[in-house]
Each structure stands twice: as C-alpha cells, then as structure tokens.
Amino acid sequence: MGHRGNAYAFENLNFDGRFAALNVGGGHNSAWWSYFGDTFNDRVSSSLVIAREPQTVEIEVPLRQLISPQFVSIFDAETAGTQLSRDGDPRVYGTFFPSDAEGRFFATVDQDLDVEINNWPDYNANVRYDIEFYLSNSGRLHGQAARSHVWVESGIFSGSVHDRIAPRLHAAKSRFTSAIEAQLGLFSNRSFSAAYLLPGPVPDMNKFGFFARHDDDVVLVVVDA
C-alpha cells in the first residue's frame, strides 16, 4: 500500500492530452478537486491513481532529458545520406495500457519525419518507439525498445515509401535498446523492488496539484529493494 499518491485526470480516453493532477502525502495528507476551471470542467475521460512509496526509497528520473539526445544521435546516424529526416524534435511521453498491450505501459518516443520523393512533393511520416522498463529477477533495472510503429501519409506512393523506410526504422530498435541499457548502467549496482511511470513532469509533492499535458514529459520511478 503506498504511503503517498498521485491522481491524474485526463481529457482524453487514452490517458493523453491535458490533465489535472493531485499530489497526496507530501505537503498535503489529502487533496481534491471541486472544480477544474471553465476550460477543463466536465472534460475528464480517463484517470490514473498511483500509490507510491516514501520519498526516501524512490528515485525519479525525467525521461525526456535521458532519452531524447540518445534518440536524435542514433536516428541521425541511421538516416545520414538518405531521403529520410526528422521533422522537429522527438516527443517523449507515457503510453498507459494500450488496447493491444493490456496491462503494460511504455515510455514512447514519437518522431515526425520528412521523406523526400524525387520530382514529387515530400511525404509526411512518423515513427514511434515504445520503451518498456522492467526488473530482472535480481532486481536490476532494464529498458528496451519493445515496439515500433511506422506511419506514412496517404498518397499514390505511400505504400512504396512505407516499404522503403519501415525496415530501417524497425531495425533501429536494437541500437536504441543498447543506448538505453548503457544509460541505465548508472544503476547497475543497485537492486529495486518496483519500477513504474508517471505522466508529465516530476510532481512537486509539496504542492496541492498542477495542470500539464501528457507529452510534457514522462517520469520513471524506481523503488529501492
């Protein structure tokens, strides 16, 4: 049973979009919303309630600053000299209990892409990598790019564009996993009893609550054994 807790109320069904968060057990023994404000009230479609352990046994790791530089470096190396390039910076957020992976949650890296086509307007595309964090039997923390998803906009060349770029993007999962594992080497001498994700930025438990978006960040929390 957690000694602290966070509750999240999302505007969308799939735990995404804007959310309102409550923090319990830091500076507040209880917290509640009686009114979300005119722009958010009556818009809650999904929610998460997360029971937490005492602050002294938890480590919080904001994942955007850990993952984004690694992803950009690997992606740019993989696509150098090709007609495929990043369109903007990657987004990093939590994907909680998707319908095709019940009971699982991921830190998702979501990257828009630009695909150059000779003598034709560029195509928009997208790749997403779902990173799963888990503990070994010995309590060591691991992370892997468990799933990848490639999308190409509709058009007369969409099928051929997808067939050309998808194998390279799916194959990059192994390099991405290796980079994540290298980063998690910082915890190689520690054992943990649990690992989970919090949506958005690190919550300030000494505040009643806050508003944010699901893609502002995602936080990995590990609990000392």
pLDDT tens sequence for the chain (225 residues): 457 899 999 999 999 999 999 998 866 677 677 777 777 777 889 999 999 999 999 999 999 999 999 999 999 998 999 999 999 999 999 999 999 998 899 999 999 999 998 888 999 999 999 999 999 999 999 999 999 999 999 999 999 999 999 999 999 999 999 999 999 998 999 999 999 999 999 999 888 889 999 999 999 999 999
Tokens, residue 56:
């002294």
pLDDT, residue 32, reads: 73
Sheet holding 18-24, edge to edge: 46-52, 4-10, 18-24, 209-213
pLDDT at 166: 95
Residue 206 contacts by C-beta under 8 Å, 6 or more apart in sequence? Answer: 23, 26, 27, 28
Nearest to 173 by CA among 150, 144, 204: 144
- Residue 58 confidence (pLDDT): 95
Neighbours of 189 (CB within 10 A): 7
Sheet with 58-62, edge to edge strand ranges: 58-62, 218-224, 192-199
Give the integer Cα–Cα distance in Å for 16 and 97: 12
What pLDDT does residue 28 have?
Answer: 66
pLDDT at position 3: 73
For residue 187, the 8-state DSSP code is G
Structural domain spans, the chain: 61-187
